[in-house]
Amino acid sequence: MPTKSGSFWVTWADTHANVSRNVEDLAEPFRSKAKAFIKALQDAGAQVTVTTTRRSAKRAYLFHWSWLVALGKSSAAEADRHPMPGVDIRWDHADDAASKAGAAQMVSGFGLAVPPKSTNAPSLTSNHIEGTAIDMAITWTGTIQVKKPDGTSVAIPFMTDVNRNTLLHAVGADYGVRKLVTDAPHWSERGN
């Protein structure tokens, strides 16, 4: 019998739908590119906190539909029409408010970025599944000098909205780590 959406699924995912925060779990050649970019940032004085590297497809499924249902971008009934083998969840609680509340518990429990930090639903075919994406928080004070792969440096001022920091994005791209500008923590091999 399916279990209704809610905080149960956050705990379930920690056991049955793993996520990694280890850069070593990324696929090559993206792993080497991400490590080089992170090192350049840290050498310049930035603090880098990696929150996600690899993500199971089951976890991506739970992220995707909980975000859509909680934010009212999809009905719970629609989510139930897209089951995933091995994830016996019921999105539709037979009451719209209860369905949204169950999904919202999951969004909160998973710590998913919502508008304005992210305007995109987590992807069902995420680059995280393939090991070609990394979510990370990058912070520093003032302006830092970040070395590019060619050895030259770029002065990058800190901006609270990382999605607008085009200088940082350009240096990341030089390393082969591209920013998805609609999702604050997300960087990937292809920028999506």
Secondary structure element (H or E) that encloses residue 78, with its range = helix 76-80
Find the CATH number of the domain harbouring 169.
3.30.1380
Classify 179 as helix, strand or coil.
strand
Q: What is the pTM of this model?
A: 0.83
Res 1 pLDDT > 90: no
Structure confidence by residue, pLDDT tens digits, 122-149? 999 989 999 999 999 999 999 999 999 9
Domain count, the chain: 1
Q: Which domain holds residue 183?
A: 3-188
How confident is the model at residue 188, as a pLDDT? 98
Half-sphere exposure of 65 (CA within 13 A, CB side): 26
Burial class (CB in 10 A: 0-12, 13-18, 19+), 107: buried
- Per-residue pLDDT of 106-126, as tens digits, reads 999 999 989 988 888 999 998
Quote the mean pLDDT of the chain.
96
- Phi, psi at residue 183, to the nearest 5°? -145, 105
- For residue range 31-56, list pLDDT tens digits in order: 999 999 999 999 999 999 999 999 99
Please name the helix (run of DSSP H) or strand (run of DSSP E) that holds residue 49, with its range, or none: strand 47-52
